Homo-oligomer: A and B are copies of this chain.
């Protein structure tokens, strides 16, 4: 049975990528050795790293514009800390749109003065605040482009008088944006880019080196840049698999091509949520995420029937986050439209039955 994988992350990767990744674990390039057991300083791996770094910049349209791409470890949670250590001299402005924004704020607060320019916390993070001001005398503005848990997504980004740092963990490479509006972008790989274990950081070099604190080597973007993202042994396999995924995306036609597919998937999904009286969307309509659709059953009595039907249809990973409950359909780049159709079919079958 084909499994439709709606997992929120780690999440679906394409079969083509999984096949190549699996082969490389046995033998990379037919040289008799696994990719896992060769030096990261070998030409074979240095080529992979450089390709991953340049594909990331190319896909984002940031080549030749003063940006560097790094593949680091530690997840977005480590970036919460690194952003502050590298950019925060006196005070910073954060937009609070969900659990991850909140955690980013908490880590930055340890170091200095943080203001929240706006927050949707009191409304269960069901919408994206708008119309706030970004003060020009702060060091940087930080936001989260997509909120996996609540299913909201920033559709527009404010004009900012100060550098912008953005956590794009759950929607990087999924839609066209003017990425030059951002000075620092970071994203854990395990949604749209690869397996867990590496984090992409894209940073405009000229925002670095302006804080007075001493930064520990592993926390210092400048150190990682100067070593070509190989200050120490990088996570070889997660980077290789991410490179394969970026290559797949490029061959598909890049962000523009995947964006169209993602919009279609979201349309199909949200139409069903809106038209089917058995279901209710969680997020404000205008802020709905094209990546994670959150919804609940209006009548909880149907829960068992619905979940049995999901199982029979091979639909996996649909449970909502414990803080929201209900369901969450994560529709990352690698999820085919057919999987969304399969889910929508089950939802509409339930309506017929009920």
Contacts and interface: CB of A to CB of B under 8 A. Distances in A.
A129 interface: no
A37 B12 contact: yes
Interface string A306-330: 0000000010110000000000000
A211 to B, nearest CB: 14
A217 B77 contact: yes
Main SS class of interface, A:
loop
A216 B5 CA distance: 34
Contacts of A12: 37
A311 to B, nearest CB: 12
Contacts of A81: 216-219
Contact of A10 (B31, B32, B194, B236): B236
A110 interface: yes
A197 B39 contact: no
A22 B9 CA distance: 21
Interface in A66-86: 73-78, 80-81
Interface residues of A, number: 63
B73 A33 contact: no
Contacts of A232: 75-77
Nearest to A191: B233
Contacts of A34: 13, 18
A124 interface: no
Interface in A12-60: 12-13, 18-19, 21-23, 25-26, 31-34, 36-40
Given A37-B7, A39-B8, A233-B188, A73 B73 contact: yes
